[in-house]
Each structure stands twice: as structure tokens, then as C-alpha cells.
Chains A and B, each alone.
Chain A
Amino acid sequence: MAELSKRERMAMSRTQMPTRDPAGRAATFDEVNLGFNTGLAVLEASRCLNCKRATCVEGCPVGVRIDAFVAHVAAGDISAAAAVVRDDNALPGVCGRVCPQEAQCEGACVLGNRGRPIAIGHLERFVADWALDHDEAPEATPPTGKRVAVVGSGPAGLACAGDLARAGHEVTVFEALHEIGGVLVYGIPQFRLPKDIVAAEVERLGSLGVSFETDVLVGPAVSLEELRDEEGYDAVFVGTGAGLPRFPGIPGEDLIGVYSANEFLTRVNLMKAFDPGAETPVYDLAGRPVVVLGGGNTAMDAARTALRLGGDPVTVLYRRTDAEMPARAEEVAHAREEGVDFRFLVSPIEFRGDDGWLGSVVVQAMELGEPDEWGRARPMPIDGMTEDVACDVAIVAIGNQPNPILAKATPGLETTARGTVVVDPETGATSIPGVFAGGDIASGGATVILALAAGRAAAAAIDAWLGADPS
């Protein structure tokens, strides 16, 4: 493409991501976004102004050199773009798909104030997918002879393992479940993040020399002390993530038909309950009313999954308004297009049912009051205004607490009152020397990219610690 002037670039509109048709896609688990082809990617990248002060980079929690990689894409050199992206982001194919870009890189792009930020996420995804198809084996680093155990295979653990392996350390990832990936495999659905993308990233780590042991619940099955004293690990990274789903604590929440989003999504994603031949059941949703409680990404995933299993209607009940929903903008838009209904300013107060089975949820009407300590308007009940909403299944997506098992089994590992592991924010160092932690287990429920950043920071700190460690 001929060199464009700044003015011409600014006049171009944002390249649309090709998507599957909403009507058809709501019946399948195939990925909704189809991805850019090279032509679309080059077109979109050519809009970038290559700002001197690239504010987009400041908006990315891991500082991906967006200006550099986008320029390579614009020049048609995808391989060079891939090298930049790979260097800065351990899981670019994942982040390109699931980061809340509008609040991060794209939110900080100078073109954003005209409503047309560069589609950085879509470009990152394009480059990452291209790289997976054109991957060369990563070069091996001379071994240091040091061994590191990584506990938990979510984004924090995977990112940490990758950097440590590249530094020449021998890394084993221990995972409790039977598959590697954490929330990326049991939580985020196929139609948003295909499982082969995660598998390819995991395979890449394998080719870097990372070993994986599934079916190991560290703590009960092997203590941190045993990993160090008997299995010869010199350091440990804890990336055990969020577990323990929260329930609203209202009458009837034990009725059959009330699922936590974790259980519902695990049954469908990890255990493949969407497949008619699967052995793990999920309640039959076909033609039945489903409600989802919450307004985050988990709620959107649950609602869109319920829709794909035939739920009719599927309604998201959220206690604030549209504007306060924490979910990614793209997910909310996709959910709407597919036919998910939204009801705002309602909060559940009771589940009702017959014979142990859910029949409806009573909701309390709310209004927005004074801002809370985070500056978000606090929802307040409107006296006397309640309503009975019929539903056969209710999916609760109001957050998780940290997984407590490892901390419980590890004396000396300091935790907060909320149950998160206490860490040095720079290094991830915990109260136990040689034990580092990061991701949701330290921050509380956050995002893939923040977990990844924490894993990488800890890897650097572990590398330094191992270098300094005389033993």
C-alpha cells in the first residue's frame, strides 16, 4: 500500500472484525470472531499514526510495543510483528481475544477520542495466530541446573513457566484438573477462545522444555516443603487462581437449577457437556427460561453458553445499569446480537421452587445512589418493589474467592483476611523464602493480562533469586 498521509489515515474508519452471523452462531460453539486476513490486518494497521509518544503502550498492563508491531503489520512483515509480540506477551493469541481492550490499550490510543481506536486486540490476535501457523522451534537456552515448580496452569503460571524455561531453568507445572490452562479451559468458552489456541500455546511451552503434571493438588498431594526438600525444586511459583464461587446468600440457593457460573461453565467447557455424547450432564435448557446473575465477563459467558444450549429466554439480571457492567464491551454487544435479554437495576432476594427444583427468582428493584469507595454508584433497593421472574435455571456469576486449599495446607504462607496470598507487588515474593505468587490468588479476581504480568514479574524475581542463591 502506498504511503498514506496522516490526514488520510485519520479519515479511514476502523476495520470491522468479520463475525459469524448472530442467528446461526447462537446455535454453535464455534468461535464468533473469524479473525482478520492479511489484507484486513494491513489495512487496519495502516491507520496507525505511529505516535512519538505511543499512549497505547502505556495503556497495556504489560507494555506490549504496540507501535512497533503495528508498524511491522502495516509494512506487511508479519514475522517481524510476531517477534515483537512474542517477546512482550507470553499469550498474545489469548490476550488479543480476551483483554478488555477498551479499558486498556485501545482506550489509550489517540484515535480513541474520535471513537476509532486502532483495533489492537484484533491485530495482536492476527499476528499471534499467524505465528502459531509459522512457528519455528524456540531456541534452547543452556540449562542452569535449577528447578522451579509452578503450581496452577492458568495464565499466571503459564507465563511464569515460559520465562523461567527461556532463562534455562527446569520447570514443572502442577495442575489439579485434568487439563492445562486454568480459567482459559474451564471458564472462558470455546466460542470466544478456541481450546486449540490454548493447546497450541501450551504445546509451545512444552517445546521450550516445560513439563506438565496434571491431577496434582499441591498442598494435599504434595506440600511445598516436599517439593523443595524431597523433589529438589529450588523455588516455587503459586498461581492457583480464584476458586470458591460466591453465592448471594439468599433463600433457595440450594434448589436444583441454581448453578454457580463456575459449575455451569466447567460442565460445558471442561467436561464438554455441549457435546451430545458427553458423559457429564448439564440441566436440559432447551426451551426453558434461564437467568444469569451478574454483569461481568463470567456472566456474559454463562448467558451466551445458556443460549447455545437452547435456553429461551436467557436474561441477564444486573443490579446496576448498562454503563456499570464490568464485562468487555464486545461481549456485551455480541450477547445482545445473539438475543440475550438484559434487565438492569434488579437484585435477587429469593429463589423459589417446587419439589426441590427452581421455578422462579424474586428480584428487588434498585436505583443508583451515592458512589461507593470505588466511585461506582451504589445500588439501593426501592422499597416495596419486587417481582417474581420465572426461570428453570439460574446461573450465579457474582464473583469468586481465592482458592484456599494450598494456603490452608501451607503453614507460614501469609494471607489477607480475604484469603489472597500476601506478596511483594514488585516481585511476587511471599512470606516464605523461595515461594512466589501472582495472578488471581494474590490480586483477587482480575484479568488474564494482569495474571500474566504478575507471572512474568515473578519469573524475573525467581531468576534473580536463583542466581543469588548459593545452594
Chain B
Amino acid sequence: MSTAEQSSPDAPLAAALRQEIAEVAQHAEHKRAASTDALKLVQKRFGYISDNHLAEVAAILGMTPAELDAVATFYNLIFRRPVGRHVILLCDSVACWVMGEAAARAQLRDRLGIKPGETTADGRFTLLPIVCLGHCDHAPAMMVDEDQYGDLNAARLDEILERYK
């Protein structure tokens, strides 16, 4: 299988990834308990969970697609729709609200042309609101992919965006 195929959300999951999921499921007391872990493994690889992958993971876990999707769609951080190469999670909770989250949001809109929930045309960024990141002493705060940023201000925000191509 070519790499291109492997990274397509429409192609079947690679054997190694299926194996990894099966192992996680094996370790869980009931296979179903591995559902978030398994979905995250797929998401790490593809950015989101396509319908095909949902069905595949469900089969490995002995669940139906509906059962797995019922869990998947509950969570904030499991994406069932395509996202950009980088996901910006901008905290919209109260401490950041006090400290200027709106300014950060406005600046992101100016620089990237997207509102929360949208993806840039070039597929580089998806901007999503997120609940309190536990970084309130450094509000306003955000995450880009797995990196955490606090004490945002105009200059710092621009500088951070530069790091993600």
C-alpha cells in the first residue's frame, strides 16, 4: 500500500495501527473501555475520525458504528470532521474572558480569516473554542496541537502562529 493511501481517511487503517488498537483493547478490562484511546490513535494519525475509520475501530472493539459514534460525538476533543493541519484550541472560559480572550479571537480572525469552528482555506489551521485549559494564571491561554501557550498578547500570538506551517 502506498503512503498516500495509508494516510487517506477513506482507505482502510494500516495493519500496524489496527494492531496497536487491538492491543489497547486487549489491555482494557472490556474492549469497549478502550474506545477513547482507540479513537485517539486514529485521530493522531489522520487528524480526525472518518466514517470508515469509525466503523473499522468499532469492529475491532466489538461495537457497532452507532455505539462508538455515540461515545465519539460526546467528546470535545474527538473530531468527526476533517480539521486543518494544526488545531488551535482557544480557551473561552471565564478567566480568559477576564483577561482578553476576545482580543485573541479577534486577532486570529484578522490573521487567519477564520472564526471558531472554521478551517483556513489552505488547510493550515482549524480554530476551535475550548473550555478552561487549567492555565488561568497565564490567561489568556490556548493550545496549538499538543502545545500549550499562555500570557497571550498581540505580539506573542503572531509569533506562535509563525511556528506552525
A and B, one complex? Answer: no
